[in-house]
Amino acid sequence: MLLFVAGGLIGVVLLAFPSLHHFYLDQTLSEALKRPLSPGHLLGTDPLGRDQLARSLAGLGVSFTIGLIVTLISVVVGMVLGLLAGYFRGVADLLISAAIDVAWGFPIILLAVMLAGMIGPGFISVILAVALLNWAGFARIIRGYALVLREREFVDAARAIGVPSLRVILTHLLPNVMAPTLVMGSYYVASTIIIEAGLSFLGLGVQAPTPSLGQMLAQGRDFLRLASWEALIPAITVALAVFSFNIVGDGLRDILDPRLSRPQG
């Protein structure tokens, strides 16, 4: 049940996002800082009189879009490098494993600051900062699966009859790493949403007038005593978004590997 609710929330946000442009930009100063459940404003308004529901949904759309793009890039890069390292081993494995260690040891915030200084803060900076490091997690997991799969009998048989390495990887290894990759991808979308909100909170992410949950949270910080809901609403929205993708990940894991959902014994 939770899986359907979470999937429905994600679908509604992604479908509604393109049509929200005019709503989240409309300013009515006479309606600034309206409380939640005010007439015409279910979640109230911000200091410029903009509807908080429209801005929250639009901010979710931005977060989801960044999360999906970053995860797609990370999956492709991590899958290619992980399969190459696990299948060929040797020098390729050493070089790719070293690159993974370097990526994992580099702080995302520092990289975001560097990119923001070079190309300016914004949508592209967030995507590059997270994707340039996130691939390492996929590469390490997929490398582990590839190391196990390359020792299986069907891979040995394919090599014995002269099947080229690329074909072995594409037909025997790749299909067997897709399920864990999809599950891991859903969790990485959730973590990317948190990172994007953090970068935007610091002013390194998505810039106004495009709404971002981190940006809204930073703005609401100045009104904690006067209008605490200005910070509470984006904070709850981030939590719901992360929870939704975690639930989807759990559902995918149970569907793709039912053994994990059955009690052992």
- Domain count of the chain? 1
* Residue 116's pLDDT band (cuts 50, 70, 90): confident
- Residue bearing the bigger pLDDT, 44 or 20: 44
Please give the residue range of the domain that contains residue 224: 52-259
User: Given a cut of 50, is residue 262 above it in pLDDT?
Assistant: no
Percent of the chain with pLDDT strictly greater than 70 = 87
Q: Per the domain annotation, does 156 fall within a domain?
A: yes
The predicted structure's pLDDT at residue 245: 85
Long-range contacts of 8-17 (CB under 8 A, 24+ apart): 9/240, 9/244, 10/64, 10/244, 10/245, 10/248, 13/57, 13/60, 13/61, 13/64, 14/61, 14/64, 14/65, 16/57, 16/61, 17/57, 17/58, 17/60, 17/61, 17/62, 17/64, 17/65
Let me know if residue 14 belongs to a domain: no
Mean pLDDT of 126-153: 91
Query: Any idea which residue has 């409309």 for tokens?
Result: 26
Residue 25 lies in a domain: no
DSSP state of 173: I
86 confidence band (pLDDT: 50, 70, 90): very high
* Dist CA 203 CA 215 (whole Å): 7
Residue 47 included in any domain: no
Tell me if 226 is assigned to some domain. Answer: yes
- Residue 77 burial (CB < 10 Å; 0-12/13-18/19+)? middle
Q: Give the CATH number of the domain where residue 193 resides.
A: 1.10.3720.10
In a domain, 118, yes or no: yes
